[in-house]
Amino acid sequence: MTIRKLFIANRAEIALRVTRTAQRMGIATVVPWHAKDRHGPALKVADETVELHGEPPVSAWLDGAALIQTAIASGCDAIHPGYGFLSENAGFARAVAEAGLTFVGPPAEVIELMGDKITARQFAQRHQVPVTPSADEAEDPQHFAERAAAIGFPLLIKGAAGGGGKGMQIVREAAALPQAIATARAESLRYFGDGRLLAERFVEQPRHIEVQVFGDSHGQLIHLGERECSIQRRFQKLIEESPAPTLSPELRERICGAAVRLASAAGYVNAGTVECIVAPTGEFYFLEMNTRLQVEHPVTEMVTGLDLVEWQLRVAQGEHLPLAQAQVRWHGSAIECRVLAEDADAGFVPDTGQVLLLGEPQGPGIRFDNGVTQGARVSADFDSMLAKLIAHGATRDLAIARLRQALQDTLMLGVTVNTDFLGRVLAHPAFQAGATDTGFLERHKAELRPRDWNEDERRALLAVAGAVSRDSHSSALPEVFAAMGAWRN
């Protein structure tokens, strides 16, 4: 069943991304907007736009029933959820199907199975996909300490009901175990009112490695390679790349094989990502599965030369996967940086403002997935990601060099962005050597601090400030006004 008109239930860069591919495939597109989000680039490209209502603004994208109604009213026969919002909401997927529309994603039952971390973990174990060894105190409280010790050190004792790093103790040797259990229990009781504990293998300096999988409704399921996303702050990815540097071919095969085995067993359809952590010693453990397209999918697209949104739409239309596993080819290296509206040097504090001057980088191997247009307001209403900048090269060094130049060429004046910080990470010798793990940013914090402007630079900046103030009637004005020059009534 060919999709004729697609409703893209998302915004900013992903809305544009999906719209472009749909248009290329001859599918009509409808993109929503909100009064507080009227500058999205997709709105200038889509065939139709429709206003959503809701306060706060994000609620408009979380109102499944209203989104479905809007899609139907616009004459759409399919909905693409993008990422975030309702993309992994089984209830929404089910409601879309029940309304007679095609949901571009996996079936609701599969979203449900993989969406719950505990059921997903148990499912993984049943299919010989390694998970971090753990011991749940509740299963056998009397022997908890022994069972914990049996996991091996270092291990983590944490509150079963907890989160946010509270009530967690890292234990590196057997002698420290009894005290750690006592402390963790006391903290868990204090913070969560629940002293039950879990013991889990603690992986030091883990790499975050994830596998892109793709299934169709005819039982085919393949992988499109892995991505490494170890450069994170506050558990959010900042830099992602494919292939994972320093991953041995043997380990790559085992991880990708496990991902395919897991997704196949789950009857997975459409795009999905199996996330794992890899220990320095080479063991890998299943973390969770994301049942949607990921933010960082462009790096996979650039090394495989494929369009994953096109594959999503084809699979949603009931087609077979365009390629068999043996036909997939990988070339070179691709790295993505997330351009965020935040002051990375002041503790990654988000910034708000207006994009007064926008300059997009370009060049060989450069891809810029922009989520804002010039004049767009950046507020706390939405995610702070303004754009994604991706570079590809035949070698990882070339990709890094191209990306560093492109970051310098990126202009987003009027709001603080993290592009200079990202450039410093790419320039760091440890990053260049591929020595990355999820503790990278914390560990190299001091080396990643900016240097002060020197005297010559400060003078140049002030000189331009002085020059533009006198020319203030022409700076930052759209060309048609600037060309008018000075005028009087």
Partner 1 sequence: MTTYVFRSDAGQRHQVLKRGDTVHVDGSPLSVRALDAGHYLAPVGARPAHVHVATHGDTLYLQLHGRSCVVERVDPTHSGASAGAAGQGSASAPMPGVVVSWIAAPGVQVAAGEALLVIESMKLQMTIEAPQSGTLEDLPFQPGQTFQRGAVLARVRPEETPA
35 is a contact residue toward partner 1 (CB under 8 A): no
CB nearer to partner 1: pick between 288 and 420: 420
Q: Which of 74, 416, 436, 438 binds partner 1 (CB under 8 A)?
A: 416
Shortest Cβ 262–partner 1 spacing (Å): 42
Which residues are CB-contacts of 15 (< 8 A; sequence separation ≥ 6)?
8, 31, 40, 42, 46, 82
Out of 179, 408, 427, 439, the only residue in the binding site for partner 1 (CB under 8 A) is 408
| Token pair 């472009």: residue | 20
Q: Please, which residue, 164 or 466, has the CB nearer to partner 1?
A: 466
Q: Which CB atom, from 175 or from 465, has the smaller least distance to partner 1?
A: 465
Tell the smallest beta-carbon distance from residue 465 to partner 1 (Å): 5
Give which of 453, 400, 454, 383 is closest to 231, Cα–Cα.
400
CB of 429 to partner 1, least distance (A): 19
Helix (H, G, I), strand (E, B) or coil at 370: strand
Contact (Cβ atoms closer than 8 angstroms) between residue 1 and residue 318: yes
Size of the site for partner 1 (CB under 8 A): 47
What is the 8-class DSSP label of residue 397? H
Q: Binding residue for partner 1 (CB under 8 A) from 72, 176, 411, 435?
A: 411
| Residue number with CB closer to partner 1 (275 or 420) | 420
* CB 159, CB 194: distance < 8 Å: yes
What is the x/- site pattern for partner 1, positions 437-476, by CB under 8 A? -------------x--x--xxxxxxxxxxxxxxxxxxxxx
- Token output for 458: 């400060």
CB of 76 to partner 1, least distance (A): 34
With the C-alpha atoms ordered 384, 388, 389, 395, is the resulting torsion angle positive or negative? positive
Residue placing its CB nearer to partner 1 in the complex, 90 or 239: 239
Residue 7 to residues 68, 221, 233: CA-CA distances in angstroms? 9, 26, 33
Taking CB under 8 A as the criterion, the residue among 414, 436, 437, 441 binding partner 1 is 414
Q: Who contacts 81 (Cβ-Cβ below 8 Å, separation ≥6)?
A: 9, 10, 87, 92, 93, 103, 104, 105, 292
User: CA 449 to CA 469: how far, in whole Å?
Assistant: 31
For partner 1, which is the closer residue by CB, 277 or 389? 389
Q: Which is nearer to partner 1, 164 or 347 (CB)?
A: 347
Q: Which stretch binds partner 1 (CB under 8 A): 94-102, 295-303, 309-317, 479-487?
A: 479-487
* Contacting partner 1 within 418-437 (CB under 8 A): 419-420, 423
Give 174's DSSP letter.
G
d(CA 241, CA 336): 6
**Of residues 194 and 351, the one with the C-beta less far from partner 1:** 351
- Spatial neighbors of 52 by CB under 8 A, at least 6 apart, are 32, 33, 34, 60, 61, 63, 66, 67, 70
Segment holding 257, helix H or strand E: helix 249-265
245 cis-preceded (ω within 30 degrees of 0): no
User: CB of 480: closest distance to partner 1 in angstroms?
Assistant: 11
Q: How far is the CB of 447 from partner 1 (least distance, A)?
A: 17
CB of 388 to partner 1, least distance (A): 17
Least distance in angstroms from the C-beta of 450 to partner 1: 7
Using the rule CB under 8 A, which residue among 417, 425, 426, 441 binds partner 1? 417
Q: How many helices (H) and strands (E) does the chain have?
A: 17, 23
Within residues 281-310, the interface with partner 1 by CB under 8 A covers none
Instruction: Give me the least distance between CB of 474 and partner 1, in Å please.
Output: 6
Work out how close the CB of 389 gets to partner 1 at its nearest, in angstroms, rounded to a whole number: 12
Which segments within 12-90 are labelled E, that is strand?
A: 28-34, 48-52, 78-80
C-beta of 445 vs 488, nearer to partner 1: 488
Stretch that binds partner 1, among 30-38, 203-211, 234-242, 408-416 (CB under 8 A): 408-416
x/- string (CB under 8 A) for partner 1, residues 163-202? ----------------------------------------
For residues 338-397, which are near partner 1 according to CB under 8 A?
354, 356-357, 359
Please state the φ and ψ torsions of residue 437, each to the nearest 5 degrees. Answer: -155, 170
What's the Cα-to-Cα distance from 217 to each of 108, 246, 320, 341, rounded to whole Å?
14, 35, 7, 40
Q: Which residue has the tokens 């005819």?
A: 218
Positions that interact with partner 1 (CB under 8 A) = 354, 356-357, 359, 407-411, 413-414, 416-417, 419-420, 423, 450, 453, 456-477, 479, 481-482, 486-489
